[in-house]
Amino acid sequence: MKYKRRVKSKPAYNLFIDGKWVKPKKMQEVISPITRKVCGYVPAATVEECNKAVSAAVKAKKKMAEMEAVERAEILDALGKGLRENVKSLSKIIMMEAGKPISLATGEVIRTAETLEYAAEEAKRIDGELLKSDSFPNMPKKLALVVRQPVGVVLAIAPFNYPLNLAVAKIAPALAAGNTVVCKPASDDPMCVFEFAEIARRAGVPKGVLNVVSGIGSEVGESLINNPKVDMVSFTGSTKIGKHIAERARFKKLHLEMGGKSPSVVLKDANLDLAAKESVKGAIKFSGQRCDAVSRVLVESPIANEFAKKVVKEVKKWKVGDPTKKDTQIGPLINERALHRVDELVKDAKKKGAKVLLGGKKLNGWYYAPTVLDYVTPKMEIAQEEIFGPVVVLMRVKNYEEAIKSANNSRYALHASVFTNDINKAIDAGMRIEAGGVQVNGAPSRGPDNFPFGGDKESGIGREGIRYTIHEMTKIHSIVLNL
């Protein structure tokens, strides 16, 4: 059976289970944020179909675990090559189903190919260590061979904002480590992951090693999380859902990358032009629909007025429009629900005293005007919750110490930025800000993929970044030799 059909002139994808395309019992629509119309159909998997996907992954575990590292590397390289050969078509699919500007969609596909290629290299570098017992007195002579083994079946649950890249950011390290995978792509934009599964099939990924099922998270995701044969859950998404997964997963290994409220700390000695440019990019790139987005800018009061003017000037440079145009930088939000949520956050801030310097309103379709809010206070909801919209939030602080305190005043701790020309304050802030990572004089970023990325507090468990994810997706195994 082919991987997709045509239904009402739109692509309709099948389930990918055990290396084969399987016609699903039920289908669901994919709505394009650009046209607000159906752009395709994907499976609405049943519990029975989910169980079949897990069983296929279980069946393939032994073969994958015993596969030599060089073979796993060859598979990953072939997948990377397959993506590079399909950049144009995949970019168009991501653009249409996610509403992502074509330039960003193209960048996502290329970056995903790079992720696979780097994972291929890391597959050959998974090593262990040799330990001796002579560090302890009166201990019999022993040697411990400590190796890393695959955890088994990894459930990869991907979000909508980077639908291809963040799915493969889980799949690639999982395969590099010798695991098998059941992937549940985001419900809003899953078609690109089914396209990737077809590339995997053509690249010769063994049967059962990669399986892709789609559907509503509360049904499909719940079924997969509850399956006792799943050994690990790797999830990227909201903190609310991440907490639910943690409660349901019981003894499964967890790798959770969840919400963020990334602060950008702008000190009075900073290069304000650079700070404005990077803070704006961090806040509104892909319409702010990123967990690492700059969600609040903490600026020292003596420079706040000047900085606010620079921010407004910078935001005005960003072009809102048709995602098919190469010069478009901001497209629509993912769905109508997201649009209303952003608007409600902005309205709440205005009602409580925030000043709108730019934007602050819905546009036609699911677009929201790039917005700058000044005089935001911690009492406003927009100062505490993820925005996931193109909004720059300016919060004025008295001095450096208050900036650090405010940066840490959040239940999230994913990423942060600090802008300063004082190397001592840069290092001090980098050490004291509670976050998985702190950028100095740059916007928060998940890449490059050899760097660790992840959060503390309610922002997650574990770290991503290919080598770090491989470590998360392996387990320590010891063989002790008594001499």
Q: Is 224 exposed, middle or buried (0-12, 13-18, 19+ CB in 10 A)?
A: buried
pLDDT at 446: 85
Whether residue 68 is found in the same domain as residue 104: yes
Residues 74 and 129 in one domain: yes
Active-site annotation holder among 257, 278, 300, 314: 257
Would you state the pLDDT for residue 447? 80
Give residue 134's pLDDT. 94
271 and 246: one domain?
Answer: no
In a domain, 101, yes or no: yes
The residue annotated as part of the active site, out of 39, 198, 291, 464, is 291
Residues 52 and 137 in one domain: yes
192 catalytic, yes or no?
A: no
pLDDT of residue 308: 98
- Give me 246's structure tokens: 């943690």
Per run of 10 residues, the mean pLDDT along the chain (length 483 residues) is 93 98 97 98 97 98 97 98 98 98 98 98 96 94 97 98 98 98 98 98 97 92 96 97 95 96 98 98 97 97 98 98 96 98 98 98 98 97 97 98 98 98 98 97 90 96 96 97 96
pLDDT at site 218: 83
Facing residues of 156 across strands? 183, 234
Domain that holds residue 291: 262-448
Pairing mode of beta strands 460-461, 253-257: antiparallel
Q: How many CB atoms lie within 10 A of CB 10?
A: 15
257 counts as catalytic: yes
- How many angstroms separate the CA atoms of 284 and 295, rounded? 9
Residue 453 lies in a domain: no
- Same domain flag for 242 and 268: no
For residues 304 and 402, state if they share a domain: yes
> Domain holding 66: CATH number?
3.40.605.10
Residue 383 per-residue DSSP state: G
Residues 215 and 271 in one domain: no
The overall pTM is greater than 0.85: yes
- Domain co-membership, 212 together with 344: no
* Total tally of structural domains belonging to the chain: 2
Q: Is residue 455 part of a domain?
A: no
Backbone angles phi, psi at 421, to 5 degrees: -105, 5
Whether 371 and 318 map to the same domain: the answer is yes
